[in-house]
Structures are given as structure tokens and as C-alpha cells.
Chains A and B, each alone.
Chain A
Amino acid sequence: MHNHKAKLTSLLIVSALCTSQQTFAEDSVFVGHLADMSGPTAFVGKNYADGVRDSLAYINENGGINGTKLEYETIDYAYKVPQAIAAYKKWHSRKNMVAMQGWGTADTEALISFVAKDKLPVFSASYSGHLTDPMGKNPHTKKPAPYNFFYGASYSDACRGLVQWAAEDWQKKGGKGKPKFTHIGANHPFPNAPKEACAEYATELGFDVQPAVVISMKPGDFKAQCLSLKSSGSNYGYIGNLGGSVLSLVKSCNTVGTDIQFMSNIWGGDKKIFQAAGEGIKDYVFPAMTPFWTDQVPGMKLVREISKQSDPSGQEERVHHYIRGVCSTFFMKEAMEWAKDNGGITGENIKKAMYARKDWVPAGLEGVCLAGNWSEQDHRGTNQVYIYKGNYNEGNVVVEELSLVTIERRDAWLGF
């Protein structure tokens, strides 16, 4: 009997705790954060997630959204779709989530329909071109994604930027004839995403587009592929893969001795990768949407402050994925501030807020985040890409900016 009573009281306490937890959420809004910190994309996912998480913590410490507290939860979904869906449903039905910071292709694409129906903006790091077409205007777009935003250029646009740079580079070098361009990557949605769009633009700029060379997403021996690059005489190669597979490619091609200018996608180049790849990294070109940690720009001061959230010593050098996470979170933060002044922080208002400003740079991040221009018809937030060059330099990795390329906003390229 006594035991029974104890059970009842504990039950009451638990239920009281549950209800009290709900009432205390008065002046606060909830933001979900999906991250991959232990799955297959963790080696860049962790960096990006740290950027988002530190920013959220920093925003909270510094007044939140104009006084509204930011509640947030980071869930490591390990790149597994079912867990991403479950986390999303939990946040949506229990926490009254107003916006979400997502991560990769897997979670972003699985949630497109749900977020559109629930009117809940998602800021992700999945830069697929088809996410930029909110109205489904382009016939290429399979599924309009009205509530999906991302900071930066799409994979296709980044590749176009690289091709644009390559065309100038070819002229500068005094190359004769048509330069040859090859897409290198696994036959997988992520490396394939910019393939067609990029090849189309390369042809337009006078490149001779070679058949794509397929390399596995997993690290391996790619000497055979490097030999075929060598024999086809490709001048410029776009690397669609990321991580270990890129390292293997660089090493294999270094052994084979191919004379090719590698240009990677946004995830395929950062200081950590160059450090690991070693000797093979010579004039390795890659795009970025932010300057580097060591660059002297005004906004980097704030980024360094934010970084202290998880690294109080301030010693850790963050990669550009981290900084992109910061930009993504701060665009969301300012959109929430606008929404608060214009009818309250709801998903719909945050979406409207994304369209409210032109040439928009979050306060304090000048020089770090590129100016954003979202519109109801066009979710290509930024149309600029930094082109960087990395050199291993016998252990003293040097990354230098080559140019800031602006990509046209053609209608035909919307969502493609």
C-alpha cells in the first residue's frame, strides 16, 4: 500500500514537472538543430554543427531575439533519415518549433514536404540547386521547396563560378585551343547534383567537356581513373566527392603525374583536408562562401567571439564550414528579429522576413557573410563565390584567395 502511494506521488511530481516545463516556455521560441556528428558526413558535419550551435548559444547569451529567449536542441541524427524525421516530428508537435537548422541532403530532402505543409523554414547546408526554386518554375524542379533556405551558392552555382574562373585562368595562362573539362565523382546524388548544369555552362564558355570520370565515394586506389584523366589530357577537373575520397584521388593522381587543375566542391577543401592529404595538394582550387579564419575582415571578430562558446581558449582554428554555419544561424536570427517586429515569431513570418531586405548582411558579420538577396520567386540567396587556392607547402598549409566570382542570375538556372 505504501509503495503504491509512493508511486502515485512520483507520478504526480513527474506530471507536474512536465506541465511546468511547458509553462516556462512563455517568452521563448524553439529552434531545432539537426546535425551529423557521428555519421558518414561527420568530418565536415561536426564543423558546421559547431558553428550553428555556438552561434545559437552566443545569441542566447547576448539578448536572444530582441529579448526573446532562444530554446534549442541539437540532435545528432547520424545521417539517418528515420531519425531525422522523428526528431522533426518531436520538435514540431511538442516544442512548437518556429525554425530549424538542418544539415545535409538526406534530412533536408526528406523533410521538404513536411516543412512546406507545417510552414516552418529550414536553413540547411544542403546546397542542391533544386532547393532554390520555391515556386517550382523551372521544369527541372521535381518538388518546389518553398520553406527551404540555405546560405551560400548552390552546388551548381559554385561549380559555374569555378568554371568561370577556369575560363579566365586558361586565358591568363595563354592556353591554346579548347581547354578540356572533366567531372570527377561518384555516381551518387551529391556529386551528380551540379554535373549537368556545370557541363552545360562549361560548354557555353568554350570548354571541351569530357565524359565524367567515376570514382567511389569511399577512399581507394584511383590510379586507373587518374590514368584516364591523364590520357584524355583534361585541363580542369571538378571534384564532386568529399573527404577521404578526395584525398585518395589527389594522392593517386600525384603518383600517376597528371597535369590537371583540380577544382573541388565546397565540402572538398579545407585546411584539415590539405593537412591530411600532404604532398599532392598543389594549387588546389576550391570555392568558399566565407573568408578564412585568418583573413583580416571586420566581421571575423564576432566569429572569434562565437567560437569561444565551445573553445574558451580561442586557440582553435575553425574551418570555413564552421563560419558558414555561423552565417546561416545569423541570417535566421535577423529574420526572427524582423518577424518579431512584424507580427510575431512564426514560421510564416520568418519566411517573409527572408524577403524583406536586399543586400542583406547580418550585423557584426560584415565581410564574413556574403550579401543575401532572397525573394519569393528565387531562393538563390547569394550569387557570389570566393575562389581559393590551397597549397601544402611542405606542411605549412597556405590558403589564398584568388577571386570573388559573381554568377549571373539567369532564369533558366533557377532551381537547376
Chain B
Amino acid sequence: MSSLTMRPCGDFRTSYKQDNTIFETTTIKNVAIFAIALLCAAPYLVDAYYLTLFIQISYLGIAALGLNILVGYTGQISLGHGAFFGFGAFASAWLNISFGIPVLLCIPLAGFLTMAVGMMFGLPASRIKGLYLAIATLAAQFILEDFFARADWFSGGSAGSSADPISIFGFVFNSDESFFYIALAALVIMYIWGCNLMRSRDGRAFVAVRDHYLSAEIMGIKLNKYRLLSFGISSFYAGIGGALYAHYLGYVSAEGFTLFMSIQFLAMIIIGGLGSIKGTLMGVVFMVFLPEVLESGVGLMKMTDWGNIPMVVDGLAYIKEMAIGLVIILFLIFEPQGMAHRWAQIKNYWKFYPFSY
């Protein structure tokens, strides 16, 4: 990926091609390919618990990347990402049930529908910025949540909507093992697409809009177009993530897509690193594993004799909730640039060892 942060001295690039690679070095490329190949074997190596966590990482990661394109790369803000995620989930189920379109096709279509909705709610972005925009997108969250609860024809209202599993040529992807491959494929495609987007003209325009919108406009970048496009792409990603979520669970209820979810997406990209694609994935992995690790901590406690009394277990449950908040605060204080930045520092340390500067 073309790095947008400061580059260490001595790291020269002499051609545009070098400046534009998806993977910084051949080693990284090989490692990535090897990692994906290894992941392909995962259903034979690990149990459904880890698979379900990976599937969660996949659909949340895709949606979070969308938000990072909007917030981290274009410098806009959205507090309605959770609702867009939900819209994608319902849209895919709705397309499948009402029109009988195969699920595999419904997922990208749901992405495009969500894109349209996202662009509609992104319209204020051409006029307002910062906190004002945040509040305008907050409206999207509430309007869509209300819409899910009311629109019986679309979301099934309070009864929710059922979503069929993905099937290709009669093979039904309804187990964790099989859906894992769908999740993996979607994750890889969407992330490569995200990397590619960022090294294209449009991607550079996004960054220009973020860094200095006035200069960008002077250089001939249409601000409205790119702000709106960024909202569209961001919602597209959210829609794809949501659709995967729907067809994984097999059932969508209007209950889950709250403001809390939107905030959680923001937390993921802030922890991972704004304006970093690999950072997004790191943030998502972190946010998915954190409650599980804390939960297993509580579980270990329960195994001991003195720990397995309701008072201790309940107390730990509260501590667990607080710990999540605490970790986020610590991250913001000690690593405001996110995990991606910390990763780069660790890498540099070893690269230049023992002569780091």
C-alpha cells in the first residue's frame, strides 16, 4: 500500500510504480499470500468458536474499512455507520425474498442500495463540516433505525426478516466451516479493493480533501463530488458487511443496529489507526478479541473454588465492561495514531537494530 504517513529517511522510491505498489515489499506480499493460504486451512485446524470470531472480524472489518475511507482518508465523519450496516443486512434479505434474486448477487446489490442511501445522507457533507456534519449523519442513524422498525414490507418490522444462506450450484454455505470461505474471500477482495482505491486518482483526491480542502479545490478537485463519493463508498462497504452478517445469521432483527454500533465502528478505526487499511483490520481484530479474552479471564476465575461464587463472577462481569472502556482510553492516550503506527515503529526498530535512530 502506498504509505501516506511520513517515511523514514533512506527509503527512496524512484518510479511511480514503486510508489504505488499494493504491498510495500516482496516479503510482505509473500507473507500475505502465505497467511491467506494458511487461513484457507483454518476450518480443518480450529473449531467453530474461532471460525465464528473470524467471520465476525470479516463482516465488521469490511464495514470498518468503509468508515476508515470516509473518516481516515477523506476527513469526513459519520455517526450513522451502524445503521448503514443494518440497511445492507435488510436490503440483501429483502432483495432475496421479494425478488428471488440469488443471495450471492443480493450481497453486492445490497451494497449498491446502501451506497445510494448513504449518498443521500451524505449530501449535507457538501455544505457542512466537522461537528455539524457529525450531527447531520446522526440523523441518518435515527431515521434508519425508525425505518427498520416501521417498514414491514422491507424489514419485517418488529418480527424481523429471515435471510437465506448463500448457495452456489446447490451447495449451501450454512455452516461455520463453509461460510468461513465466503467471509475470507469477501474480506480479501474488499481489502485489496480498498488498497487499490487508495492508490488511484480518486484515492489521492480523498486524501487531498482531507489534508487541505482549499488547496484541493484550487488544484481542481471537485469537493462535493469526492465528499459524496466517499460517503457512497463507505456505505457500500457497510452494506456488504451488513449483507454478509445477515446471511451468516440467517435472521435480521431491527434491534442490533444502534448508535452504539456506529460508535463501535469509530472506536475500531481509531484504535487501529485512522487512514490506514491494515490498521483497520488490526483495530477490528482487537475489538473482537478483547471481550472474548476478558470473558475467558472471567471463565478461568470461575474454575477456581474461591472465584466461582456469584458475587465474584458478577463483579468481574462489570469489571469486564469497564476494562473495554479503559483499554480504549489508554489507547487514545498512549497510542493516538493507532495500532498501525505502533506496528510500524516495532517493525522499524527491528529493521534498524541495533542502529535505530
A residues apposed to B, CB below 8 Å: 37-38, 50, 53, 73-76, 78, 80-83, 85-87, 89-90, 92-94, 105-106, 109-110, 112-114, 117, 128, 130, 140-143, 187-190, 192-193, 195, 310
What residues on B are CB-neighbors of A187 within 8 Å?
146, 149-150
Is A192 in contact with B158, judged by CB distance below 8 angstroms? yes
A-B contact pairs, 20 of them (CB 8 A): A37-B314, A37-B318, A75-B295, A83-B295, A85-B56, A87-B295, A89-B48, A89-B51, A93-B47, A93-B49, A94-B47, A113-B249, A113-B250, A114-B249, A117-B175, A130-B160, A142-B159, A187-B146, A189-B149, A189-B254
Which residue of chain A has its CB nearest to the CB of B60? A82
A-facing residues in B177-200 (Cβ within 8 Å): none
CA distance A73 to B162 in the complex (A): 29
A302 CA to B127 CA, complexed, in Å: 66
Q: Is the CB of B253 within 8 A of A110?
A: yes
Contact A38 B318 (CB under 8 A): yes
User: A38-B321, A89-B52, A142-B162 are known contacts; what are 17 more A-B pairs with Cβ within 8 Å?
Assistant: A89-B49, A92-B48, A94-B49, A106-B256, A109-B255, A113-B249, A114-B250, A117-B175, A142-B251, A188-B149, A188-B158, A189-B149, A189-B157, A189-B160, A189-B254, A190-B158, A192-B149
B251 and A110 contacting across the interface, CB-CB below 8 Å: yes
**Also in contact, A190 and B255, with CB within 8 A (given A86-B49, A86-B52):** yes
B321 touching A78 by the CB < 8 A rule? yes
A117 / chain B contacts, CB cutoff of 8 Å: 174-175
Chain A residue at minimal CB-CB distance from B162: A143
Q: Which residue of B lies closest to A145 (CB)?
A: B251
B204 interface residue (CB < 8 Å to A): no
* A86 and B255 contact, Cβ closer than 8 Å, known pairs A94-B49, A142-B160: no
Contacts of B160 in A (CB 8 A): 109, 130, 142-143, 189
Identify which of residues 300-354 in chain B touch chain A, using a CB-to-CB cut-off of 8 Å: 302, 310, 313-314, 317-318, 320-321
Residue pair A106, B253 in contact (C-beta under 8 Å): yes
User: What's the count of A-B pairs with C-beta under 8 Å?
Assistant: 110
Q: Is the CB of B253 within 8 A of A109?
A: yes
CB <8 Å contact, A105 and B49: no
Task: Indicate with 1 or 0, residue by residue over B8-40, a CB within 8 angstroms of chain A CB atoms.
Answer: 000000000000000000000000000000000
In the complex, the chain B residue whose C-beta lies closest to that of A416 is B159
Q: Which residue of B lies closest to A35 (CB)?
A: B317
Once the chains bind, are B162 and A76 in contact (CB under 8 Å)? no
Q: Complex formed: what's the CA distance from A113 to B174 in Å?
A: 9
Contact indicator A112/B317 (Cβ below 8 Å): no
Chain B residues positioned under 8 Å from A189 (CB to CB)? 149, 157-160, 253-255
State the CA gap A207–B150 with chains docked (Å).
24
**Chain B residues in 8 Å Cβ range of A92:** 48
Q: Per a CB cutoff under 8 Å, which of B53, B159, B313, B320 touches A74?
A: B313
Question: Chain B contacts of A53 at CB under 8 A?
Answer: 310
Task: Give the distance to chain B from A40, nearest Cβ to Cβ, in Å.
Answer: 9
Determine the distance from Cα of A60 to Cα of B328 in the docked complex, in whole angstroms: 40
Scan B69-108; emit 1 where CB is below 8 A from any A CB, else 0.
Answer: 0000000000000000000000000000000000000000
> Which residues of chain B have a CB within 8 Å of any CB of chain A?
47-49, 51-53, 56, 60, 146, 149-150, 156-162, 174-176, 249-251, 253-256, 288, 291-292, 295, 299, 302, 310, 313-314, 317-318, 320-321
Least CB distance from A115 to B in Å reads 11
**Distance of A309 Cα from B49 Cα, bound (Å):** 31
Q: Is the CB of A130 within 8 A of B250?
A: no
Tell me the bound Cα distance from A244 to B53 in angstroms.
34
Interface centre among B156, B159, B314, B321 (most CB of A within 10 A): B159
Tell me whether B52 and A109 are in contact (CB under 8 A): no
| CB closest chain-B residue, reference A90 | B49
Expressed in whole angstroms, the minimum distance between the Cβ of A200 and any Cβ of chain B is: 14
Question: Given contacts A37-B314, A38-B317, A82-B288, are A109 and B149 in contact (CB under 8 A)?
Answer: no
Whether the Cβ atoms of B149 and A93 lie closer than 8 Å is: no
Question: How far, in angstroms, from A157 to B290 measured CA to CA in the complex?
Answer: 40
Give the residues in chain A near B56, CB-CB below 8 Å: 82, 85-86
- In angstroms, Cα B161 to Cα A405, docked, is 32
Partner of B48, one of A38, A93, A113, A143: A93
* Contact (Cβ within 8 A) A193 B158: yes
For A190, list chain B residues within 8 Å (CB). 158, 255
Contact between chains at B317 and A76 (CB < 8 Å): yes
Q: Across the A-B interface, give the 10 residue pairs with the lowest CB-CB distance, nearest first.
A: A113-B250, A143-B162, A93-B48, A192-B158, A76-B317, A89-B52, A189-B158, A93-B47, A90-B49, A109-B253
Across the interface, which residues of B come within 8 angstroms of A193, CB to CB?
A: 158-159
Q: How far is the CB of B82 from chain A (nearest CB, A)?
A: 12
Contact of A188 (CB < 8 Å), options: B49, B250, B255, B292: B255
Distance in Å from the Cβ of B149 to the closest Cβ of chain A? 5
CA distance A259 to B302 in the complex (A): 52
Q: Which residue of chain B lies nearest to A188 when distances are taken between CB atoms in the complex?
A: B149
Of listed A73, A86, A93, A190, residue having the most chain B CB within 10 A:
A86
A112 contacts which chain B residues (CB < 8 A)? 250-251
Which chain B residues border A76 with CB–CB below 8 Å?
Answer: 314, 317, 320
Residue of A nearest to B296 (CB): A90
Q: Which of A80, A82, A130, A188 contacts B159 (CB 8 A)?
A: A130
B76 CB, min distance to chain A CBs, angstroms:
26
Nearest CB in chain A to that of B247: its residue: A113
Chain B residue at smallest Cβ distance from A113: B250
**Residues on B with beta carbons closer than 8 Å to the beta carbon of A113:** 174, 249-251
**Chain B contacts of A83 at CB under 8 A?**
291-292, 295
Residue of B nearest to A193 (CB): B158
Supposing A113-B250, A190-B255 touch, asked if A89 and B176 sit within 8 A by C-beta, the answer is: yes
Docked complex Cα distance between A391 and B160 (Å): 36
Nearest A residue to B53, CB-CB: A86
CA distance A53 to B318 in the complex (A): 17
- The distance from the CB of A134 to the nearest CB of chain B, in whole angstroms, is 14
- A345 to chain B minimum Cβ distance, whole angstroms, is 21
Bound-state Cα–Cα, A87 to B53, Å:
10
- Chain B residues with CB under 8 A of A110: 249, 251, 253, 256
**Chain A residue nearest to B310 in the complex (CB):** A310
| Minimum CB distance partner of B289 in chain A | A86
CB neighbours of B156 from chain A (8 A): 142
Set of chain B residues within 8 Å of A87, measured between Cβ atoms: 295
